[in-house]
Structure 1
Amino acid sequence: MATIPHISLDAPRAQIVKDLRQASLSSGFFQLVDLGAHVPREIILQMFEQTRLFFDLPQEEKEKVTKQSHLVGGYEGWRFYDLNKTGDGGKLDNKAEDDEGGWNEGFAIAPEQRAARDDMDSLVVGVVGVNGLLWSRGYGRLKANDSADTSVPNEHSIYRVASVSKLFATLETFILRDRGHLHWDDPVTRFYPNFTHGAHGWHQRLLGSASEDQEPITLRHLASHMSGIGRDYPPENLDSWPDMDVPMGLLSPSGAYPQKDEIFKAISEYPLVSPPNTFPVYSNTGFSLLGWCITVADQQQSGTEISYADLIKRDIFEPLGMNGSSFLLTKDKYANMALPQIPDEAEYDMTEAHNSAGGQFSSVSDLAKTVQVLLNPRHFRALLSSYSIREWFRPLHIFPDRLTQAGLVWEILETEDTRGRTQHYYSKSGNLQYYHSEVSINRELGFGVIVLMAGVYADASWFSKRMINTFQPAFEGLLAHQTVKRYAGTWKSEGENEIVVQVKAGVLWITKAVINGFDMLKVYTGNIPAALWSTGRLDEFRIAIGRAALNLDPSMGCLPYWVTFDPFNSRDAPVDLILFENQDENWVLRYPSVGIAFKRV
């Protein structure tokens, strides 16, 4: 399979021009690397804005500059490009599917065409940054059940978000934890003293024996799917299995949902899938239980009874201005409600018993406000402490596939950036029968993507992955540009004192460090560059010195570096501490342990 050409702006100008021409005449796509180090952030943003203005024009305006056969440029709209078939004069293969109904393996980015297929009714996508919703687009028909209604959905259109509701149950738990109303390691029995679970395994149950030993199930277990509680309790018993079609993995499509007493009884009777803390077992029931517990926690503090829906409205929806979010479809929201061709699910009341697991309605605009405060804990509407944000965005279980991890509600996916470095996307997806959703957040690069869909087609990740592939390089470039502007350069002070800081392959490096004529890299690192590790505080870093004998051993990874941080102090400061300060619009690098301030030259 062919790949998209990577063009480095570090190359000579003539080579860049040649590579751009070749890529434009062949595949039609290319990726600029080192963009942020060469092009000011303002220019990049202006380019995005001008592009947005053009594509927001009415279709008839865009078609005035339709591509002519004898010209290279011009408007063409979305098409499918198979890079395996573009070598012969740039010919295009517009076939959208292969013979088995799947997508070609060539590069394809066509949300408009994908959304127009019969298995999709509507789609809204959005990209979010630290300053809020940056871009969104709607496709299909808002009211797919009404052939006379041709309105297109937008960022304010309301969808059922299914299991994305679980993200808000977790967020509310953190909010109450920050207020001191509960702890993540509180057992369920703190809130429901009579709670019990089947402590025995299935082998014991089927043999008619049981165990009375009760290992605690905590709020952390519930939010991370590590409680061992099965997917949906009480489970349906279908004795005609496997000679039948069974809807797998969906909440009851009939809208008849079991209530608390039934669920508590089933948890007490059925064995856990696995003992707590063994491995994640996806559990709608576990998140229902989490919602009940945090509601009780609030009631214990306030002395006032409150529903889960009102709790989320009070602590999240109202503070963030999420006016399109709720747990019931009311008359005032009907005009903005996205309806699939079969619209029954829009009317379901999942009840207090299941709202925390999957009962929420929301829009791209509303979800963007939540993503924004998770990206930026210093936002004036921030709901959580920085401490909680750091705790939340961490994996709790690593699967052996080297691709996925699980966290507190998160379905964590690994991917690579343009430098081959690992990037983690903290995601939550949701699926009902006709509503599908996904939210993915990359805190390191400072952006997230949102997908809301209606229809039979259920793979929201198809769009998420393509949006990430499209937008991630731009955020990489912006981060690189800001990092270079703030920290990179040659820093000197009086005497034989010089530190050189460079950004290479997406990493901040010290490539030269001479202090009072003493070559520190030669002595301490084996004469190899030393990475600067952010402490999580702005403009504060530690030098990853490591151990010279181990630094070049690839089997050791990061181990030599993190075990050697903070070795000792000099002048009452750690010897591996580097600080950057803005003094009167001029940046200064301070090395406190040697008592020297460096200026950039």
Structure 2
Amino acid sequence: MAKWALTLLLALLSSAVTAEPIAELMDDFDHYFQQQMNQHNIPGAAYAIVQGNRIVSAKGFGVREAGSELPVDAFTVFRIASVSKTFAAGLASIVASKGHFNWDEPVVRYIPNFSFKTADFNEQLKIEHLLAQSTGVMPNAYDNLIEANLLPDRILPQFQKIDPLCAPGLCYGYQNVLFSLIEPIMQQTTSQDYASLLQEHIFTPLQLPTASVGLDAYLSTENRAIPHVRARGNWHPRQVNESYYRFAPAAGVNASAVDLGYWLIAQLGYNPKVLPDSMLQQITSKRVRTSRDLRRREWRNYLTDAHYALGWRVYQLGQEQLVYHGGWVQGFRAEIAYSKERELGLVILLNAESNIVNELSTYFWSGMFAAFQLQDATQLASCSATATPDLAC
């Protein structure tokens, strides 16, 4: 358990627990966050904490670009990399609910020129497998070609050279190219482009103030964070290229901490007209086990099980379930997670490729869950001790 959480828990044990732990823990997390940013010389960062239907804290740290004086604030736009997959899952679920496609339809119904080496696998690959990362294909297939700046039309034919490692739906293999095939499927079935669909069905109805899709939108945003990579002990700014932006469902969304805070509020069920509970349950239903996650640095100290759902990971931390996704693209790191049971969410954005994001997330969640569990135990003990328990018991 993190030292900050242990100190708080000892204090709570010495007195009755009368308030939710988040109020006491937020100040500690903010202090730790700033301490770690300073210690690792991170150029700029932002975080947001959501409780129920409110963003209870949203703050920026540092500068948008090393050497400048322009500050990062809660509305500074970052590339969120693979956190974009959570938006793809939400959008695809909305489009599917309107009858534009079915999850169990073969991908080749909409992309007939797609093929594996063995054509027998083609009909087995369903639309659901794309967003569930259960295509069966080796992890990160042809990401090297994305990074070489090849166009999607030149990458897709490469799959004719390989076969899945298992039948689609049976095993996990993280993908960016295949995941992004949901874009042409939605475009064909709605006659709208991906960015317009996101704007219409998610950005506008959820009132995300600065969210966008694509390189042009990023460059046209004045309050944007610049990416940094580490070399010779220092962080250096880099130009953003278009490579991963061409695979928008996988890594094409730009957003601020406030944008992602509102996105978390919707995941917690507070915007049922956009994302009803039935849809949220479908999105977060476990599709395939991701055993490799159990060995992730920092997370391995807490995870007891891990799965991929639709565009989201589902982590088990003992008795607590955390819905999570991380993102990493040149010069940026992003993480988003929420606990539906605890009605709590966290967003972290960095304009630097630093693994400190993992420590920050586990620090927050291990402390919060421990405090909630202590509160539960204290309330249970209080209920057991009284002869006339109140309604809360």
The TM-score bracket by the shorter chain reads 0.7 to 0.9
Residues 129 and 375 of structure 1 are in contact (CA less than 8 Å); yes or no, is this contact kept in structure 2? no
Instruction: Tell me the equivalent position of 1:334.
Output: 222
Q: Deviations over 1:512-564 (max 9, x none)?
A: xxxxxxxxxxxxxxxxxxxxxxxxxxxxxxxxxxxxxxxxxxxxxxxxxxxxx
> Is the alpha carbon distance of 1:180 and 1:113 closer, same or farther for their aligned partners in structure 2, counting shifts above 3 Å?
same
The answer for the alignment partner of 1:461 in structure 2 is 358
**Are residue 167 (structure 1) and residue 86 (structure 2) matched?**
yes
Matches of 1:138 and 1:126 in 2, distance apart?
A: 9
Which residue, out of 102, 126, 130, partners 1:183? 102
> Is the 1:165–1:360 Cα contact (8 Å) retained in structure 2?
yes
SS at match of 1:285: coil
Deviation, structure 1 residue 484: 11
Q: Distance in 2 between matches of 1:371 and 1:406?
A: 18
Q: CA deviation at 1:485?
A: 12
* Post-superposition CA distance 1:292-331 (Å, at most 9, x none): 22222222xxxxxx22122212211111122311123456
Whether 1:323 and 2:215 are equivalent positions in the alignment is no
Larger RCO of the pair (alpha carbons < 8 Å, separation 6+): 2
Task: Please list every run of 5 or more consecutive structure 1 residues that lacks an aligned counterpart in the other structure.
Answer: 7-26, 56-76, 79-109, 200-210, 238-250, 300-305, 417-421, 492-499, 509-601
2:60 equivalent in structure 1? 138
Secondary structure of the structure 2 residue equivalent to 1:449:
strand
Q: Which residue of 1 aligns with 2:286?
A: 395
Question: How far off its partner does 1:448 sit?
Answer: 1.0
Partners of 1:215 and 1:276 within 8 A in 2 = no
3-state DSSP class of the match of 1:113? helix
State how 1:330-369 maps to structure 2 within 5 Å.
330=218, 332-340=220-228, 341-345=235-239, 347-350=240-243, 353-369=246-262
- Give the Cα–Cα distance (whole angstroms) in 2 for the partners of residues 307 and 352 of structure 1: 14
Indicate if the aligned counterparts of 2:283 and 2:311 stay in contact, CA closer than 8 A.
Answer: no
Name the SS of the counterpart of 1:116 in structure 2: helix
Task: Give the deviation of 1:501 after TM superposition.
Answer: 8.9
Kindly tell me: are residues 3 and 457 of structure 1, through their superposed partners in 2, closer, same or farther at Cα, counting changes over 3 Å? closer
Q: Secondary structure at the match of 1:120?
A: coil
Within 5 Å, which residues of 2 pair with 1:145-160? 147=67, 149-160=68-79
Q: Distance in 2 between matches of 1:372 and 1:5?
A: 25
Conservation of the 8 A alpha-carbon contact between 1:185 and 1:218? yes
Q: Percent identity?
A: 20
- Give the corresponding residue for 1:431: 328
SS at 1:324 equivalent: coil
CA RMSD of aligned residues (A): 3.7
TM-score by length of 2: 0.81
1:272 aligns with 2:160: no
Code of the aligned partner of 1:460: V
Shift of 1:353: 3.8
Q: Is 1:413 the equivalent of 2:309? A: no
Alignment: residue pair count: 372
User: Aligned pair in 2 of structure 1 residues 447, 485: CA closer, same or farther (>3 Å)?
Assistant: farther
Which structure has more helix as a fraction of its residues? 2
Partner of 2:343: 446
Query: The residue matched to 2:351 in structure 1 has which SS?
Result: strand
Q: Structure 1 residue 395: deviation in Å?
A: 1.6
**Which stretch has the larger CA shift, 217-226 or 286-295?**
286-295
Question: Which residue identity lines up with residue 177 of structure 2 in the other structure?
Answer: T
Give TM-score scaled by structure 1 length: 0.55
Q: How does 1:486-505 map to 2 (within 5 A)?
A: none
What does 1:124-273 align with in structure 2 at a 5 Å threshold?
124-144=46-66, 147=67, 149-199=68-118, 212=120, 214-234=122-142, 236=144, 252=147, 257-273=149-165
Whole-Å separation in 1 of the counterparts to 2:12 and 2:251: 41
Aligned position for 2:301: none
3-state DSSP class of the match of 1:226? coil
2:193 is aligned to: 307
Do the aligned residues in 2 keep the contact of 1:158 with 1:363 (CA within 8 Å)? yes
Query: SS where residue 366 of structure 1 aligns?
Result: helix
Which secondary structure state, in structure 1, belongs to the residue aligned with residue 202 of structure 2?
Answer: helix
Q: Does 1:32 align with 2:9?
A: no
Provide structure 2 residue ranges, at least 5 long, that are not aligned to the other structure.
Answer: 229-234, 295-303
